[in-house]
Amino acid sequence: MTFLLLNVCDPDLSRERAKIQEGTKSWDIKLVNLFNSLIYLVMPPLAGVDKRLGWSPPVSPAVQWMALIAFVLGMGLFDWAMLSNRFFSGTVRIQEDRGHMVVTDGPYRVVRHPGYVGMIVMFVAPPLVLGSLWALIPAGLAALATIVRTALEDKTLQAELPGYVEYMQQTRYRLLPGIW
């Protein structure tokens, strides 16, 4: 759904996100590969094996429903961030070829990396929806990799994107207002 929406609303950004572009930071390729592996290759089979072998205690239906709602809200935040920021690339790079500049609209008024907030929620919610506490391990590691990515991206943007330091003074928090 997200990428169908993106194809309609911003085909240029859709093309940008379709592949790793020139200028992508090498550290980011490693982090993206790490969290994609954890979320798509490790977490689902681990959740299935956990369910099959009964490793986790039962997760209440109320927690499962709350996690599902959190997942939908996380996806909504991710989509809002992407649609608010025409430079919302799949990897970290300064998009000089696309006229990269600081975006301060939409959720970027509240935190500097709202898309990552949505991603972290989308990583952590599925294990709870599936009733697998063991699957929280790769989800948590993917969330941690995303937090590291946020810090490294902030350093890159401070050093290479004009106006970002001023934006940081306006929007003080990376992920959670009032906290960090």
The pLDDT score that the predictor gives to residue 7 is 74
Greatest alpha-carbon pair distance for the chain in Å reads 53
What percent of the chain stands above pLDDT 70?
A: 98
Alpha-carbon span 151 to 45, nearest angstrom? 30
Q: Across residues 113-117, what is the average pLDDT?
A: 97
The pLDDT score that the predictor gives to residue 1 is 57
To which residue do tokens 């989509």 refer? Answer: 79
pLDDT at 98 over 60: yes
**Architecture of the CATH domain 2-6+36-170:** Up-down Bundle (1.20)
Residues 109/110/116/122 CA torsion (nearest 10 deg):
-120
CA angle, residues 180, 34, 136, in degrees to nearest 5:
65
Question: Please, which residues have CB within 8 angstroms of residue 24's CB and are 6 or more apart in sequence?
Answer: 91, 92, 93
Q: Across residues 9-36, what is the average pLDDT?
A: 88
Q: What is the mean pLDDT of the chain?
A: 93
Per-residue model confidence as pLDDT tens digits over 28-77: 999 999 999 999 999 999 999 999 999 999 999 999 999 999 999 999 99
Distances (CA, A) of 162 to 8, 101, 165: 29, 7, 8
Domain boundaries, the chain: 2-6+36-170
- pTM to 2 decimals? 0.91
